[in-house]
């Protein structure tokens, strides 16, 4: 462990937060977008339709990302997560840059998931999300 005055390498920093070479997937690897190989206008309209489609969630429900609407690294696509809370008043992402995809995003859903890799594997964490990006697990 480095002392207070020793520099911390990026590898050490990643290991400290539970991300190391044993992670099993590249954090910078994006998911394929197969529907964009055809008509991009149709794909845009389909994503807008999915985004506008709402679901009523309640604590205990299992949910997953809607296809093509994943905007965070976790949870993985097709990974079930559990609804812990549905907020009556959303909190807003504190990103102040209007060029960010998180700018003023209404976070109205608290989801629980397991850490899958690293020294904290198996720990249960909660995260805030925009419910418009999720669907019931059964609809996957």
**Which residues contact residue 131 at a Cβ distance below 8 angstroms, ignoring those fewer than 6 apart?**
54, 55, 57, 86, 108, 109
Element (H, E) at 83: strand 81-92
**What's the mean pLDDT in 94-110?**
84
The pLDDT tens digits of the residues spanning 51-83 come to 999 999 999 999 999 999 999 989 988 899 999
Two structure tokens written together for 116:
């899958």
Name the residue with higher pLDDT: 100 or 26: 100
Global pTM value: 0.71
Mean pLDDT over all residues of the chain?
82
Mean pLDDT value across residues 116-125: 88
CATH fold for the domain made of 55-140: SH3 type barrels. (2.30.30)
Token pair, residue 98, equals: 């209007």
In the sheet that holds 124-129, the strands lie side by side as: 124-129, 106-114, 81-92, 62-65, 134-136
| pLDDT value for 81 | 96
| pLDDT at residue 28, rounded to an integer | 45
Q: For 68, left (φ over 0), alpha (ψ -120 to 50), or beta?
A: left
What number is the average pLDDT over the span 89-102?
81
Under a CB-based contact definition with an 8 Å cutoff, are residues 9 and 42 in contact?
A: no
What span, in angstroms and rounded, lies between the C-alpha atoms of 87 and 77?
23
């Amino acid at each position: 462990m480095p002392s207070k005055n020793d520099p911390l390498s990026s590898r050490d920093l990643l290991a400290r937060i539970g991300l190391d070479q044993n992670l099993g997937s590249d954090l910078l690897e994006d998911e394929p977008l197969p529907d964009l190989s055809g008509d991009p206008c149709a794909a845009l309209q389909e994503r807008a339709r999915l985004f506008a489609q709402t679901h009523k969630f309640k604590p205990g429900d299992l949910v997953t990302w809607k296809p093509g609407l994943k905007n965070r690294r976790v949870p993985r696509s097709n990974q079930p997560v559990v609804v812990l809370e549905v907020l009556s008043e959303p909190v807003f992402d504190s990103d102040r840059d209007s060029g960010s995809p998180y700018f003023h995003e209404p976070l109205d859903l608290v989801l629980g998931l397991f850490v899958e890799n690293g020294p904290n594997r198996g720990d249960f964490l909660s995260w805030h999300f925009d419910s418009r990006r999720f669907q019931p697990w059964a609809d996957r």
